[in-house]
């Protein structure tokens, strides 16, 4: 049998965040499933082309990402990279549930050499991008966060439950769409609602609308005090009333609910009225959909309930 040190692959993943913003990522090397990770010390960023060149870098950044190196073990099969990609996406889905950001692979898996993973991460984190700076050079704060213990067991649960892994991937795709702002608001909304629909089915509810309602109420119950059970159910009902209805209009009536739906034509005499009317979906409802979908799915994977022991009165 070939030496296992010669049968490894490596890649980078990262979370895209707006800038200036906090970057939450694992601060120390860790093992999840068959994967090892190592943080890098650089930030890749996208710069606003319309910004004044003499402005400080932090004020010109549209989004930033701090890469995390990932290493896995490969076999001798010709399609080893297919399994490597699946494992990368699984890790991204778990990180998205842990830290609530849009994680995704920055590059395809490549065969590893003999150097140490931490050394490789330092040397290769900025390769392929001219828009790289040291962490201290950009207006971004990096929070080195240790992931919860639940994440390690969740890897095995997803590995054994393809349906649950598909739900986790849908949540990840919703987070990625949400990171695009108004341009992908409808896609994010529909995918978050799909997460509730799928989890409602696992909770035993029948009918799409009922499944979504049951899942939304269950999500709120997880972070309300027991004596506020009625408030939790009402919060879930209100989220269902607005979120599910908006989803149906987009999916079945081709109604665009965000500002992106009005980019093709004039807004009329009072564009501020249109923007104000659409604001609830783009902020309050969409944020609540994402937060509650994340909490419920994380709970299904053994993750902690948010705000344990406290009364939470709003999403």
Which region among 59-68, 73-82, 262-271 has the lowest average model confidence (pLDDT)?
Answer: 262-271
Residues 6+ apart with CB under 8 A from 57: 47, 133, 137, 138, 139
pTM: 0.78
Backbone angles phi, psi at 70, to 5 degrees: -130, 140
What is the percentage of the chain residues whose pLDDT exceeds 90? 24
pLDDT band at residue 187 using 50, 70 and 90 as cut-offs:
confident
pLDDT band at residue 206 using 50, 70 and 90 as cut-offs:
confident
pLDDT 10s digits, 116-172: 888 777 777 655 554 555 444 444 445 556 678 898 899 999 999 999 999 999 999
The tally of CA atoms less than 13 A away on the side-chain side of residue 14 is 23
The tally of CA atoms less than 13 A away on the side-chain side of residue 131 is 15
């Amino acid at each position: 049998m070939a030496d296992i040190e010669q049968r490894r692959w490596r890649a980078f993943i990262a979370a895209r965040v707006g800038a200036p913003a906090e970057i939450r990522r694992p601060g120390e090397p860790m093992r999840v499933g068959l994967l090892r990770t190592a943080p890098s010390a650089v930030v890749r960023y996208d710069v606003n082309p319309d910004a004044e060149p003499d402005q400080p870098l932090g004020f010109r950044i549209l989004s930033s990402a701090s890469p995390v190196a990932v290493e896995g073990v490969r076999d001798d099969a010709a399609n080893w990279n297919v399994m490597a990609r699946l494992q990368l996406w699984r890790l991204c889905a778990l990180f998205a549930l842990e830290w609530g950001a849009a994680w995704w692979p920055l590059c395809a898996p490549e065969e590893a050499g003999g150097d140490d993973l931490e050394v490789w991460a330092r040397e290769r984190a900025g390769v392929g991008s001219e828009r790289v700076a040291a962490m201290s050079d950009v207006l971004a704060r990096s929070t080195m966060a240790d992931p919860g213990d639940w994440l390690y067991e969740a890897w095995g649960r997803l590995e054994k439950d393809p349906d649950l892994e598909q739900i986790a991937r849908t949540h990840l795709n919703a987070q990625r769409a949400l990171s695009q702002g108004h341009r992908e608001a409808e896609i994010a909304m529909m995918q978050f609602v799909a997460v509730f629909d799928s989890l409602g089915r696992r909770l035993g509810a029948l009918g799409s609308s009922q499944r979504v309602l049951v899942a939304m109420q269950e999500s709120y119950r997880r972070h309300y005090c027991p004596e506020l059970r009625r408030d939790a159910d009402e919060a879930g009902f209100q989220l269902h009333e607005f979120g599910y209805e908006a989803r149906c209009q987009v999916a079945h009536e081709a109604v665009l609910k965000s500002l992106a739906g009005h980019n093709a034509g004039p807004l009329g005499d009072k564009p501020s009225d249109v923007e104000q009317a659409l604001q609830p979906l783009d902020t309050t409802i969409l944020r609540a959909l994402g937060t509650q979908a994340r909490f419920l799915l994380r709970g299904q994977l053994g993750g902690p309930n948010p705000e344990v022991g406290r009364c939470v009165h709003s999403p």
